[in-house]
Structures are given as C-alpha cells and as structure tokens.
Structure 1
Amino acid sequence: MRRWIVGFVSIYLFAGPSVQTVEAATRVPPGNRHTEQPDVPYGARKRTRDTRSSFEAKYERIRDLLAGDAELRSKIRSAARAYGIDPIHIVGALVGEHTFNVDAMDRLQTYYVKALSYLHSDIEFSYDGESVSDFVRRPQFDGCSGLRNDADLWACREDVWNDRFRGKTVGGERFPNDRFGATFFQPYYAGQTFGLGQINPLAALSVTDIVHRVSGYPELSPDQAPAVYEAIMDPDKSLAYMAAVIRDSIDAYRDIAGFDITDNPGITATLYNVGTPRARARALAADNRRRSAAGQSPRLPEENYYGWLVNDKLSELRAIMGER
C-alpha cells in the first residue's frame, strides 16, 4: 500500500492533501458486501441479448484480450503508476465496461483508427442550437465560477442543471428531464460512451486538467468536440483518462465521505460505471451523519452488479496482471 500513497503524494502535492488525510479515512475492506450479484439493469441485458452473446462470453473475451496482450498490460501498469493507483482498478473498469456495455475489440489498432476518424468529424456539444459553453455562461451558473479544478467545476454545473433546468421551463424554454451529459455531450445517442475505456465526454472534460498536468496531453475544451472524442478513443490517452477518473473517485470518497476505497476495486469499478462520485460521496456522507445521530453504525460504500463481478473475478484478474 505504501507505494500507492507515495505515488499519490508526488502527483497531488499541488492540491494540498497529505498522507494523514488518507490514513484518517475509514478503510473499506476488500470483497463484496452483497453475497449475490445485484440485479443487472435491463439495458445491459438487452444489449447483450441483441448481440446473441452472454455476460460470461463477454467477460471471457475481455479477460482473454488482457491475458494475450502484453503491450496493453504494460500500458495499464504505466498509466496506473503515473496516477498513483493499483493497476487492478483500471483492469476492473475495463472488465466491467466490456462485460456489461460493449464487446472487447480484438486489437488496440482498431481503436487508433477510430480515434483518427473522430478527430476529423464535425460533431459539437450543444442542445437545441446552443453550445454547452454558451449555456454555462447563463447567470444560474455564476456560483460555479472560480472553482479550483475541472472536476469541481463540471460537478457544480451538473448540480445547477439538475436543480435549475432539468425537466423545467426557464425563460419560456422547456428543458429535457435528462442528465446533463446526455443532453449536451452525447450527440449520437444518449448513454453512448467511447473507446477502450468506454469514457463519456463529460467525464473526460472533468479530469482533463489532471491528465494535462500528469501525462502532458493537451487540455480538452467543450468547444472542440472532435478532439475530445479523439482523446477518449485513442487507447494511450484513454488509459490516462481512465486512471484520472478512478483517481478522482478515490479522492472524492476520501475527502467527502471519509472512506479509503483503494483496497476495493469493486467499489472503484462501481463508481466508474455510475459516475458523479462527488454527488454520491456527499449523499453517503449525509446518510452516515443521520445514522450517527441515530446511534447507528456507518454504512460502507457498496458495489453494484458491475463492481460485484470485478471483486468476484479478482484473483483471476490479478493473476493475469502478474499479481498474487
């Protein structure tokens, strides 16, 4: 564990947290809290059924891709090292995405080719003719100005969307009762994610400052949608963004909810799947304050169906990565 803490401090020294902050958080033990896998959502079951496949077959496909591609395993280790996380967290997210959402492609080269095609497209992030950059200049978003990092900035904007616009009529304009990301950031169809890491554009924008600082890739802008898609389609960049998203979730749960989730890849995989780690950490912290006031023990973070599989297959996945 010490090596991950040291890596974390070397990367995030600018942000001010210390090793004592990590040690003060309640450690979430390894393993699943649920004895049986939670229900898999209908959408995941339908996608798999429509391709005449099964979750087990899709799991075996991504497992075999990882086992048979030494270059990919090396890239995973390198990305994990740069962001101060255990590589198994990246492996878990890959396994979850390619088991429940998409099928693994045979070769990384396929993703490189697709990345170039997106770079030369004319897509944009907008709703009803208004770009997201113009939309977040509305006065309702003034309270988000001056936030110190992209994760806080976009989380604030998403909160404003939910509170002030989602499903409401504002200035005579009716806004959809849908997620911020689905409304502005998925021009092909709602729910779509991309690339090896199946990252959505809003998640990438939320950590682009970290990725720029750590990996040196250019910062992404919502005004340059093709570059965002190219970044999340390119396997090398995608792994950096995956690692940054996972790192951000770990930090959010430590700083907001008081839990150290670094020993439980099923929890980090769950957060990778469901997103909005800050909002979820705040909800868990509020729930535990209520429980404490009632004399109850705190509720630990729990895995969903996606994270449950990762924990269930953990020994096999660690073996593939050359770990015990």
Structure 2
Amino acid sequence: MILAWSAPPALAGGLIVVPPGNRNLEQPKVPGASIRRTKAGRTTFDDKYDKIIELLSDSPSLMSKIKQTARQYDIDPVHIIGAIVGEHTYNVDAYDRLQSYYVKAAAYAGDSFRFGYRDQTIGAFVARPEFAGCRSEDDSYKLWSCREAVWEKVFRGNTVDGVSYPDNRFSAVFFQPFFAGQTFGLGQINPLTALMQSDLVARRSGYPKLDASDARGVYAAIMDPDKSLAYVAATIRRSIDDYAQIAGMDISGNPGITATLYNIGNSAQRAATLAARNRSGGLTWPEENYYGWLVNDKLAQLKSLL
C-alpha cells in the first residue's frame, strides 16, 4: 500500500523537497536471492540487523570516522549508517569484529588478478572504437557511466566481432574476477562503483585515483574500512546531486531514498526517468524499496547511534 501525500511540496533553493519517511505503508517485497542467502546462513533478517547495530554501537572509533567522512561530503552521517546497515541486513552477514575487514583485505591484496572478460582486459575493451564518444569525459563518474551505457546499448547480450557477450551488467561481466555478485567492505562497494567515484573521492578525501588496470589497488581501497567509507559517502553524495540536478528534487532529508539508490544504483538514469514522468503532469515522489524502507522505519534507532 502506497501512502498519498496531498500537501504541496516544500521548496529549497528551487528544489522540491522530498518528504521524510516511507511512501509505502508496508515494506516492499524482499528479493528471493536475499532470502535464500539468509536462510543458507541459518539466520534471519532481524538477527542480522541486530548484529550490525550491535557492532556499530560497540565501535566508537568507526562512528567517529563515519561522522568525519560525512562532513567531507556534506551529508548527514545517518545516510552512511543506513547504507551499511542495509547491506549487512540483506546482502551479507556482519563479521564478529569489524577488524576482520582488514584481515580479509590483506588476504586479497596478495592475489594476482585483473578486470576483464575472457582474454580481454578492461583496458583493451574500452579502447575499442565503440567507446570513442566517452573519451572526452574528464570526470571518472561521467567516463564510466558513458562506458556502461555503451555496454548496455552495443555489447550486452550481443555478438560483436565474433565475441558473444553475456546478457548481464557491465560490472558483473568485467569487474568480478572471483565470483558473480561480489561486493566488498563495510559498504559492500563493487569495483565499478569505486572507479566511478574515484575523482570525487580524490578531491574530497585525498586518496589516490583508482586505475582499472590495477585491480589489486581497487580492491585494497574498497576493502580498507577507512577508505571504503569515502566511497560509500561519495556514492550517496552523487545520488543526492543527481536528483537535485536532473529531477529538481532534494532527497537529502530522506535516508530511505538515498539507501534505496545505494542499493539499486544508476541514480542519474533513475532521476532522469522520474523527471520525465513529472514533466508529463502531476508529481511522482521517488519511492523506497525494501532496503530503504527498513532504513526509514528504523531511522530513530540509526540516529541514536550518532
């Protein structure tokens, strides 16, 4: 059931302010894959939620880093907390100690691997003429978004120059050398997302820019608990900016919406779709999914962690 909002929208700097809270009275359906992973681990979503809340509560140094990172990206720290809680409730189990992330990062740092598909490295692939139109982009977000769009239009599910490409996401085909569906670190960042946010993270956090030809360096960044927070914050900052610039909406006061976009990705495309819908008449609000719904539903508790 979707709640109706009859009050006229508030305006902030010419933007329509998205109201706080959930648009849906009941939580949207949780995907079957998430349910199966949770059952396989002999646990429940409630147990996983309680576990990550407990870990965050017992980690004052991490909470301090979350606040510091949020200031660097001009966002409320509850957005970062929401992303972490959502990932560890629905996608992965929290480790017994957050320090375990450092151990796992060190283990992967010793491996030799690359980003690519079959015998094509990602560098050779994006050097193809089909990607020529992307080369003028001077920001990592625009560059990799352009390349992802070319993948969707030209290569996905098609045979090009005798090579058959899977009908799957760009990140799944070229940026998962270990196993499908993998994400890493506190915020469960995937390598393509990290590459997209590389320039923003370099500007705001001062970390070195990432290079797709250095897969180990990418994983080292997203698996280090300290550095990974910057990529979480950058992704959230970008979704807020996309909705402001493209859809004319301020979503910065609704952590459930930013958590939803963190979960499903493609904030620019989704903002454009929403803007087109609203141009045709009426007003459609961005809507939370199951993941964002939990964040809004538990918002008081998440804020209490701060």
* TM bucket, shorter chain: over 0.9
Q: 1:198 to 1:168 in 2, by over 3 A?
A: same
Taking structure 1 as the reference length, the TM-score comes to 0.89
Mapped partners of 1:22, 1:169: distance in 2: 48
Is 1:25 aligned to 2:15, yes or no? yes
Aligned to 2:84: 94
**2:265 is the counterpart of 1:265:** no
- Alignment match, 1:301: 286
More helix by share: 1
CA contact (8 A) 1:288 1:298 kept: yes
Runs of 4 or more above 4 Å deviation: none
Matched, 1:40 2:30: yes
The number of equivalent residue pairs is: 296
Deviation at residue 74 of structure 1 after TM alignment: 0.5
Q: Does the CA contact (< 8 Å) of 1:96 and 1:306 recur in 2?
A: yes
Please, which runs of 5 or more residues in structure 2 have no aligned partner?
1-10
Q: Distance in 2 between matches of 1:283 and 1:143?
A: 23
CA RMSD of aligned residues (A): 1.2
| Aligned residue in 2 for 1:178 | 168
**What is the CA-CA distance between 1:184 and the residue it aligns to?**
0.2
* Candidates 59, 64, 69, aligned match of 2:49: 59
What is the rounded CA distance, in whole Å, between the counterparts of 1:237 and 1:115 in structure 2?
12
Q: Does 1:312 align with 2:300?
A: no
Tell me the equivalent position of 2:232.
Answer: 242
Which residue of the partner structure matches residue 204 of structure 1?
194
For structure 1, the residue ranges without an aligned partner over 5 or more in a row are 1-20
Deviations 1:95-116 (A, max 9, x none): 1000000111122321112222
Match for residue 5 of structure 2? none
Q: Does 1:141 align with 2:126?
A: no
**Aligned position for 2:220:** 230
Task: Please give the alpha-carbon distance, in whole angstroms, between the structure 2 residues aligned to 1:287 and 1:105.
Answer: 42
Counterpart residue identity of residue 311, structure 1: N
Deviation at 1:235, TM superposition (A): 0.3
2:120 and 2:297 map into 1 onto residues whose CA distance is 45
1:159 alignment partner, one of 149, 153, 158:
149
Native 8 Å contact 1:208 1:219 kept in 2: yes
Instruction: Give the aligned partner of residue 288 of structure 1.
Output: 278
Query: What is the CA deviation profile of residues 90-144 of structure 1, one whole-angstrom value per residue up to 9, with x for unaligned ones?
Result: 0000010000001111223211122222222111100011011111111111111
Q: Is the 8 A contact 1:155 1:278 kept in 2?
A: no
1:75 aligns with 2:65: yes
Write the letter of the residue equivalent to 1:73.
M
Amino acid at match of 2:46: E
Matching residue's letter, 2:146: C
Percent identity, aligned pairs only, is 56
